[in-house]
């Protein structure tokens, strides 16, 4: 995947990785280039096709969304907030996907209180491209965990705001 092979590359404006230029579709509020979005779709397909992958799937989706925040809009603000809440609970508190899904649902009920968080200059060292290149389930799982921690740490300046949002949704139950 490089220009030396005669493939034109473009940078993803979300994660900053280089992907083959692709005129395909992307998501309407997740900030990813078409090439990056396509690779994300291939990783999701891998996770859906093999029953061994589901435990890591939630973390893959949350990490990708947090690394591709897009531009300020009602939808992107809600998406980034909820996916960062999820990363916090899974990585810092070892919540299982089912537990996180319940919290995410409650958080969505107070999403009008969420604000735009200015994305950090770097959104982590790894990208979906690293996960895509994994050859085994163990390698895939390990890379998703490393990627998730990297993205979560990149959002460090906003960790207190994310914790406050969790408290907010707890008060509204």
CA 95 to CA 86: how far, in whole Å? 9
CA 25 to CA 47: how far, in whole Å? 21
Q: Quick check: 153 and 87 in contact, CB under 8 A?
A: no
Q: Is 68 left (phi over 0), alpha (psi -120 to 50) or beta?
A: beta
SS3 for 127? coil
Query: Hey, where are the domains in the chain?
Result: 3-171
* Dihedral in degrees, nearest 10, Cα atoms 96, 100, 103, 108: -170
Q: Quick check: 95 and 103 in contact, CB under 8 A?
A: yes
Q: Which pLDDT score, from 0 to 100, does residue 39 have? A: 96
Residue 9 pairs with which residues in a beta bridge? 20
Taking only the tens place, the pLDDT of each residue in 12-68 is 999 999 999 888 888 888 999 999 999 999 999 999 988 777 789 999 999 999 999
Residue from 28, 169, 172, 22 nearest 85 by CA: 169
Higher pLDDT: 6 or 127? It is 127
């Amino acid at each position: 995947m490089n220009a030396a092979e005669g493939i034109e590359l473009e940078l993803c404006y979300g994660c900053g990785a280089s992907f083959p230029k692709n005129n395909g579709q992307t998501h309407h509020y997740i900030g990813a280039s078409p090439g990056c979005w396509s690779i994300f779709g291939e990783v999701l397909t891998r996770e859906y096709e093999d029953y061994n992958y589901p435990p890591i799937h939630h973390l893959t989706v949350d990490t990708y969304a947090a690394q591709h925040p897009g531009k300020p809009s009602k939808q992107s603000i809600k998406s980034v907030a909820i996916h960062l809440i999820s990363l916090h609970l899974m990585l810092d508190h070892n919540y299982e996907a089912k537990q996180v899904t319940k919290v995410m649902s409650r958080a969505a009920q107070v999403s009008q209180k969420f604000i735009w968080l200015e994305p950090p200059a770097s959104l982590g060292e790894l990208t979906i491209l690293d996960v895509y290149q994994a050859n085994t389930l163990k390698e895939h799982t390990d890379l998703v965990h490393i990627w998730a921690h990297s993205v979560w740490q990149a959002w460090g300046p906003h960790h207190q705001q994310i914790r406050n949002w969790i408290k907010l949704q707890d008060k509204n139950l």
